[in-house]
Chains A and B, each alone.
Chain A
Amino acid sequence: MRPGATRRSLTSLWRLRGYLRPYTGSLVVMGTTALTGVLVSISIPLVSGALIDGPIAVGDRGGILPLGLLALALGVLEALLILIRRWVQARAVLGLERSLRDDIYAKLDSLPMAFHSHWQSGQLLSRITTDLSTIRRFTGFGLLFLIINILQLIVVTVLLLHLYQPLGIVVALVAVPIIWLCMSFERRYVTVSRRVQDEQGDVATEVEESTLGVRIIKSFGRGGHAYEKFDRRASRLHDSQMAKVHLASRFWTFLEVLPNLALVAVLLLGARAVGEGDLTLGALVAFITLMLQLVWPVAALGVILSMAQEAMTAADRVVEIFDTESEIVGGDRELEHPRGHLRLEGVGFTFPDATDPVLHDLDLEVLPGETIAVVGATGSGKTVLTTLIPRLYDPTAGRITIDGVDIRELTLPNLRQVVTTAFEEPTLFSMSARENVTLGRPDASEADVREALEVAQATFVDGLPWGLGTRIGEQGMALSGGQRQRLALARAILARPNILVLDDTLSALDVHTEALVEQGLRRVLADTTGILVAHRASTLLLADRVALLEGGTITAVGRHFDLLATVPAYRELLSADADLVDAVGREGAK
């Protein structure tokens, strides 16, 4: 890892320290209990040693009881300390994780579409799940034991040196290469693990694609091809996993065997020392048991260090989100009595990663209560236009005003209350049908809900197993495309905006239903400013005027029949199939 990167990671982790503040008390308790626990666990072997050298060696039967009771008391105390630490720790670290998760969510909620369109939701998801639990594990466990293990190492080594210096030196000499090896192993292990993680992601992507495209794969009989692609990735993952297994096996074996080798040396040297009277038998037993206590802290050091590394990377990824500035922030004005007078002045829009503008020099005025339809060929920028008005994106040139106020000066809640959009792809959430419909107006009355459902021809919800209470969306009842569109339309209508934007909302409806919805919409649009994106002539008749979008700008505005008569491009776009018009003409002539 590059030093610069490390420093940045440490800063990221350090920046999250504020989340620990509410748990300062808990941290103190955790630290003290952990520390005391270590001291207690170290003293137990010392008591055994004292017992062997004292009462047993000198034949003092009465001395056994107090030392035995001491060992018992220390044992109970150690367990108690662990209990307290774990309980306090559970509350603190889970609370920390939760507040981080909530904050990330709130931040993501406020980031604009431009952010969300280039971040996949899976990437974001792994931040609130995997990354957060990595941070949680490190702060709750890793950080604590990093300190404690180092302390334990030092204390035990000092004790060993104190018990019998030559032997202590042997142990200390063995410990140094172990620690060094642990760290170097950990570095290599991290590389392999990351490769494995990436390849797991590849396999998952392959699965996702072939699942979502299963109908296409079947339609074209390309199952073999899909399987080969998957198998290549899965086999590569298998190979990397095996590399990881080999690396880890050698390391774990080494870690387990080394203390045993030290044991051999200690036994040999210790026995000699006892033989020569330099060391008592009790001290040797205490020495061996103490030395065995070193195994865990040494072995764990590698694990903890890699945990720290992972936590830093995770913190980086989390801080990355916190650091993203939202380019779309609300102003401080509110329209108290909006009339819905919408003006677009010289509006242009270019996607961040593109050079050519999608929209340019676009002027349009929609009077209060007026409805304007926007038509244009596939890819002419109609949908982009609809996202500019509720400020899901901001125009890169020009400005948009409502009742003469630049929409950038309005607070976002106010703007989005004035403007409501029904999108082409209807998004429903895993909630009750009612909550889905009342999304824009949670306090809507039953009568309002019914009216909106009727206008949008969405009364089919009454036929669902639990009526409006039925859960729909991703994890609920499956609805057809047309049903989803109608619910989304009902939602937009129920919000009762001053400006209603409908982006080709009727495309999945059959002719009959479409006609019924149009009747209802006519009523709604009578006193609402409306912007309709449409392909079909029938929908255009809902509008007072039509704007023709060509090459990213508006080239003609006028009444449908006028445009049909005077603008060839409009006729080309809207008139029925030429041959068919002929056919109808022939029929009329009959």
Chain B
Amino acid sequence: MSAPTASPDWRGVAAEDIDDVRGDVGIVLRDRSRRLLGSLLRPHRKALLAVLAIVLVENAARLAIPYLVKEGIDKGIPPMVDGQGSRILVGIVVVVGIVVVVQAITRLLFLILAGRIGQRLLLELRRRLFRHFQSLSPAFHDRYTSGRVISRSTSDVDAIEEMMDTGFDGLITAVLTLVGTAVMLLVLDLRLGLVALLAFPFLIWLTAWFRTASAVAYRRTRVTVAAVIVHFVESMTGIKAVQGFRREPRNEEIFAEVSDDYREANERAFRLVGLFMPGIKLIGNVTIALVLFYGAYRVFDGHITIGVLAAFLIYLRQFFEPMQEISQFYNTFQSASAALEKLSGVLEERPDVPEPPHPVAMATARGAVDLDDVRFSYVPDRPVLPGLDLSIPAGQTVALVGTTGAGKTTIAKLVSRFYDPDHGRVTLDGVDLRDLADDTLRRHVVMVTQENFLFAGSVADNIRFGRPDASDEQVREAAQAIGADTFIEALPAGYDTQVESRGGRLSAGQRQLVAFARAFLADPAVLILDEATSSLDVPSERLVQRALRTILSERTAIIIAHRLSTVEIADRVLVLEHGEVVEDGSPADLIAGHGRYAGLHDAWVESLA
């Protein structure tokens, strides 16, 4: 039924994607990643040295075994054949036994120590990321979006974890085995060793090819799987609209498309591995055949013993086996290094609103707010506030009125220090906000917005979020004060009702009431309400307004609202236009006049009719 005549490019033109790692900045990024890695590893310097020593011993032990087998065959067996007893052989076997024990102990130590360093590092990385994201300004979060923050802190960390889990150990072993075996082979027999080492250039060439080819293929799988995930999550979270608009067939078409892209990308990557693995096997088997061939002649001519040939065969097997793990390592390594690049980038993001080095103490606040010649712009050269002077005495309730883009919300965000002004200063009781510790500021200034996020937990927990030490009684009082108690008590478990993820059980209006109660319980000196009543029905809004009159009487408040009914409770109304105050006065005075506010008010009264 859905014959889509719409453009086949259903995704349209993408907006800029900050995630893209472009070629020309590659080196800088790698540098940045290295710095991050260095800072994470530095505390473990000693442990790392110990691990290095242990791994060297372990590999030496591992490499000694085939050599000892050779000694056994060449030196231990002939005396026995000649009937001279087994003393030498037993001696060699005892040495092998000791070496095996050494290998076991060092291996165990290595795995545990390396695991401990890795896990410590991950914990540190997780903590650092969490603290860092929490310290970045809301402006950053607006830009970066929650989805990216979450994927940085989860899947990117997981990618690094996976590399430590599987890849790292394999790589170290592979490299050490590679080098160690080469040396042993040359020592055992130079000529045969050289024949065996003929495999090296091929191995290096094959690995180099695989590395470049798989980097491309691997990136492609990442891109395509992201498309699958985005489409999937979006259509599942938006299933109401999907079903309501009969979108299922077209969605299935699109999903089949992205799903097939992903399959194709995967298939390409699988085939590369499918070439690489048998390639290694081929090189290995040909080398073994050549060694066998040439070795047989050497034995035949008496240049080497059968023991040496046996040792060669065991060594070569040991040599090529770990090579197979390298392909595994590349995959995890690539995703881990991509993750590291992104993480290091994010961790170098400096907070736009830094903590003061020497914060001013402020135990209590009266709530006088002043803006002195404040200039601010989100985009350079497009000032939202061209130079605002505003003085709000303690205890005053001010309503900001104006069209979209007049700068109302910007003022609210500057007073709650979600941003710092480009010029001028914002003060609380005469102290520049930049000199207050974040905790101090937040205790005195609280903002309630349209966005009323609730955390998983009970309704009471969510109200108490504003003041963790509040008693149950105080929580109830706060809810009563703004008229939220009626609906809360009607919930299945009253105040103990779990709000479920993101408050899904409550309607938008109910969430807003809980958010209000939360703010009132916090009892700040300055309260900012940005469109905080927009989702309420008229009776609830009226209740809130009635409550506001008493609650706001002894504190400073800044109110932003489209609905003039909310504005009416203010002591003072500021009409803003292009970041400047064009009208300033009490609501009654302004209504009596002929300015913009009087006009807005008339239009509103008419709409009520």
Contacts and interface: CB of A to CB of B under 8 A. Distances in A.
Interface stretch (B126-134, B174-182, B373-381, B577-585): B126-134
B69 interface: yes
A101 B227 CA distance: 14
B347 to A, nearest CB: 15
A289 B317 contact: yes
Nearest to A353: B492
B154 A491 contact: no
A65 B296 CA distance: 10
Contact of A108 (B3, B236, B262, B279): B236
- Which of B231, B236, B252, B288 has the most chain A CB atoms closer than 10 A to its own CB? B236
B96 interface: yes
A287 to B, nearest CB: 10
B519 to A, nearest CB: 8
A246 B372 CA distance: 61
Interface string B271-307: 1011101110110111011101100110110000010
A2 interface: no
Contact of A87 (B247, B271, B542): B271
Contacts of B241: 423, 427, 429, 439, 488
B293 to A, nearest CB: 4
A434 interface: yes
A52 to B, nearest CB: 6
B193 interface: no
Given A211-B149, A214-B141, A219-B447, A253 B288 contact: no
Contact of B89 (A89, A268, A538): A268
Nearest to A377: B537
Given A125-B232, A220-B466, A438-B6, A423 B13 contact: no
A431 to B, nearest CB: 5
A544 to B, nearest CB: 18
A98 to B, nearest CB: 4
B609 A537 contact: yes
B86 A442 contact: no
Contacts of B240: 113, 387, 392, 423, 427
A221 B285 contact: no
Given A56-B306, A260-B100, A471-B12, A249 B285 contact: no
Given A71-B292, A121-B233, A432 B246 contact: no
Nearest to B231: A430
Interface in B204-252: 225, 228-248, 250-252
Interface in A493-523: 495, 507-508, 510-512, 515
A470 B534 CA distance: 29
B508 interface: yes
A275 B285 contact: no
Given A109-B251, A433-B12, A442 B77 contact: no
A8 B250 CA distance: 35
B267 A267 contact: no
Interface string A33-62: 000000000001101100110011001010
Nearest to B143: A478
Q: Is the interface of B mostly helix, strand, loop or mixed?
A: helix
Nearest to B549: A579
Interface string A72-93: 1011101110110011011100
B6 A435 contact: yes
A289 B475 CA distance: 75
Contact of B403 (A91, A379, A510, A515): A510
Interface in B107-128: 107-108, 111-112, 115-116, 118-120, 122-123, 126-127
Given A271-B77, A289-B317, A56 B296 contact: yes
A498 to B, nearest CB: 14
Nearest to B288: A75
Contacts of A433: 12
B553 interface: no
A113 B89 CA distance: 76
Contacts of A158: none
A74 B225 CA distance: 39
Given A416-B243, A538-B607, A105 B263 contact: no
A587 B591 contact: yes
B288 A439 contact: no
A207 B154 contact: yes
Given A423-B240, A439-B247, A472-B12, A215 B138 contact: yes
B246 to A, nearest CB: 5
A579 to B, nearest CB: 8
Contacts of A281: 73, 77, 306
Contacts of B256: 102
B293 A116 contact: no
A335 interface: no
Given A271-B89, A432-B9, A390 B243 contact: yes
B446 interface: yes
A510 B562 contact: yes
Nearest to A73: B289
A180 interface: no
Given A56-B306, A102-B259, A64 B285 contact: no
Given A72-B286, A572-B539, A215 B108 contact: no
Contacts of B122: 238, 241
B111 to A, nearest CB: 3
A333 to B, nearest CB: 16
B116 A83 contact: no
Nearest to B239: A116
Contacts of A248: 111, 115
Contact of B10 (A65, A71, A87, A432): A432
B604 interface: yes
A447 to B, nearest CB: 14
A529 B241 CA distance: 20
B205 to A, nearest CB: 16
Contact of A76 (B147, B282, B591): B282
Contact of B107 (A256, A377, A417, A429): A256
Contact of B289 (A72, A82, A102, A475): A72
Given A113-B239, A129-B225, A264-B93, A217 B245 contact: no
A94 B286 CA distance: 32
Given A105-B252, A214-B134, A238-B119, A59 B246 contact: no
A515 B86 CA distance: 105
Interface stretch (B30-38, B388-396, B426-434, B435-443): B435-443
Given A61-B300, A535-B538, A226 B134 contact: yes
Contacts of A439: 241, 245, 247
A210 interface: yes
B96 A222 contact: no
Interface in B1-55: 1-7, 9-15
A173 interface: no
Interface in A217-258: 217-227, 230-231, 234-235, 237-238, 241-242, 245-246, 248-250, 252-253, 256-257
B442 A83 contact: no
B81 interface: yes
A283 B183 CA distance: 27
A477 interface: yes
Interface string B132-160: 01110010011001110110011000100
B89 to A, nearest CB: 5
Contacts of B266: 90, 94
- Which of B3, B153, B262, B279 has the most chain A CB atoms closer than 10 A to its own CB? B153
11 contacts: A52-B310, A94-B270, A124-B236, A208-B150, A213-B455, A218-B418, A227-B130, A260-B103, A274-B80, A378-B510, A491-B245
Given A215-B453, A263-B96, 20 more contacts: A86-B277, A125-B233, A225-B468, A242-B119, A257-B107, A271-B72, A275-B81, A354-B492, A383-B507, A392-B243, A425-B508, A430-B230, A439-B245, A465-B13, A476-B14, A508-B450, A510-B404, A538-B607, A576-B565, A577-B538
Q: Which 9 A-B pairs have the closest CB atoms?
A: A432-B12, A75-B285, A221-B442, A275-B80, A245-B115, A86-B274, A249-B111, A79-B282, A68-B293
